[in-house]
A and B are shown apart, each in its own frame.
Chain A
Amino acid sequence: EVQLVQSGAEVKKPGESLKISCQVSGYSFTTYWIGWVRQMPGKGLEWMTMIYPGDSDTRYSPSFQGQVTISVDKSISTAYLYWSSLKASDTAIYYCARRGSGMKAWDYWGQGSLVTVSS
């Protein structure tokens, strides 16, 4: 069974760093793209970034380039999203998702990680 399990809720202060995770199971981690999506409170979905774990090919949305860093640890089948300096506007739910095989769509999703940034 394919599963994407994300790290838990975080409460941080502005300026702090944060890394959230997405651990996958049930499939070959290195052969499927993993993406991250932001959903701000009461708002729509936004693509942030994606990575191909096999060779670490990485893409960023212009809106998020330089604001976050995506990475993977193949040894534990885990993808990460990292902020070096959080802002209040980073408060949101973050979802990871897998791009399916034979399709250009995202077929499995994590449960979401709530990040709250407040002084």
Chain B
Amino acid sequence: QSALTQPASVSGSPGQSITISCSGTSSDVGGYNYVSWYQQHPGKAPKLMIFDVSNRPSGVSTRFSGSKSGNTASLTISGLQAEDEADYYCTSYSSSTTLYVFGTGTKVTVL
């Protein structure tokens, strides 16, 4: 089971918007609306930011949004802030394993 593909790094200036992609297959990202996104700061546990493609848990900033087209999901962070600097991972349910698969991870840098 291969990991979902994410860009290794994305950067932006404060106030800008950035988008992180997450590419999979019809057995995972494309086959189900079960993509979620996690933020991980160094030395910390992952934190759920988006669930089921485009839903925000209570308490997560509205600056975070998710979408999906075909086999690719995306996370957009608008109004980039210094505190958004972290690693971001997508994950999707996978029918080939009946488990989940993570993306390769993206390091977001705020310039």
Q: Which of A24-32, A39-47, A83-91 forms part of the interface with chain B?
A: A39-47
Q: With the chains together, A44 CA to B47 CA distance in Å?
A: 14
B69 within 8 A of A: no
Contact: B99 with A103, CB < 8 Å?
no
Q: Is the CB of B97 within 8 A of A62?
A: yes
How many residues on the B side are at the interface (Cβ–Cβ under 8 A)? 28
B3 at interface, CB cutoff 8 A = yes
Whether B97 pairs with A61 at a CB distance below 8 angstroms is: yes
B45 contacts A45, CB within 8 Å?
no
Q: A63-B1, A104-B93 are in contact. Are A47 and B101 (CB under 8 A)?
A: yes
CB < 8 Å A-B pair total: 72
Chain B contacts with A in 82-111, Cβ cutoff 8 A: 87, 89, 91, 93, 97-105
Interface flag for A100 (CB, 8 Å)? yes
The interface residues of chain B lying within 8 Å CB-to-CB of A60 are 99
Q: Which residues of A contact B101 (CB under 8 A)?
A: 47
How many residues of A sit at the interface, in one of the four size bands? 20 to 34
CA distance A49 to B46 in the complex (A): 17
Q: Is B57 an interface residue (CB 8 A)?
A: yes
Q: What A residues does B98 contact at CB under 8 A?
A: 59
Q: Which residues of B contact A35 (CB under 8 A)?
A: 100
Which has the most chain B C-beta neighbours within 10 Å: A50, A97, A104?
A104
A77 smallest CB distance to B (angstroms)? 19
Contacts from B to A (Cβ < 8 Å)? 1, 3, 32, 34, 36, 38, 40, 45-48, 51-52, 55, 57, 87, 89, 91, 93, 97-105
